[in-house]
Copies of this chain bind each other. A is one copy, B any other.
């Protein structure tokens, strides 16, 4: 899963070994930047328009001037794939910081944003998609503006690490008695034929796959209810699942060591997985 050799840096392409940053970089000293991870299937982007739009929303929210238009970055990202002759399943990681400048909290003047993007292989998680994964629950300690996809990811890092140390795939986060999302994915509960998830407020990332899940549900005539549930509700759930660009629609079959219903992926989740595969133009690859 190494990084492909050609990297996008600003509007240029460079070799991965030649791209370095000075120690006075606002990403490195303040986490002062934003990012996107876009899924690639067989060398083609999935939901690239949605991701690029969100990048611009994040940039606007923290007032970073991106040095390109939506069309320009989209074109550069496509060039990045062709330059690397990328034809497999993978991701692109795209980041923009407020630039390199002497350390000072307030914005630097006349300092261009630093942008880079790189590609790496990432096979679909077919085994997890088929069998489901386990999760733990954790207190959501993040800041108030989780809708901004920023580089301030320390609480997410700590939650994911706690999950991993527990042998789990993800950490389901709870704030003020309500489940918000996971450390790097949105989360949903199915009960009595309805899908419940936290509303798209400032407390969660507005996932690109989450938007698609809402559409898939509409297409399947499954009510999609933007209403937060609690950790206690999980005990009575018929199904639980998560979604993200790297995890797709992923069944959660166990939370905090307790099985969800029968402890196997549920029917609603599987219908959404099939809708995802159709939407993303995927052949079924589950083992």
Chain A interface residues (CB < 8 Å from chain B): 1-3, 7, 16, 19-32, 35, 62-63, 93, 95, 97-98, 102-103, 105-107, 116, 118, 120, 139, 141-145, 150-158, 160-161, 163-164, 183-184
Contacts and interface: CB of A to CB of B under 8 A. Distances in A.
Contacts of A2: 102
Contacts of A142: 143-144
A118 to B, nearest CB: 7
- Count identical subunits in the complex: 2
B25 A28 contact: yes
A95 B1 contact: no
Contacts of A19: 22-23
Contacts of A22: 19-21
4 A-B pairs closest in CB distance: A31-B31, A20-B20, A105-B160, A152-B152
Contact of A153 (B21, B152, B157): B152
Given A158-B62, A161-B106, A21 B31 contact: no
Nearest to A160: B105
A105 B183 contact: yes
Given A1-B102, A31-B151, A143-B143, 9 more contacts: A20-B20, A27-B28, A29-B153, A30-B31, A30-B154, A30-B157, A105-B156, A105-B157, A105-B161
A161 B152 CA distance: 17
A151 B23 CA distance: 13
A184 to B, nearest CB: 6
Contacts of A93: 103
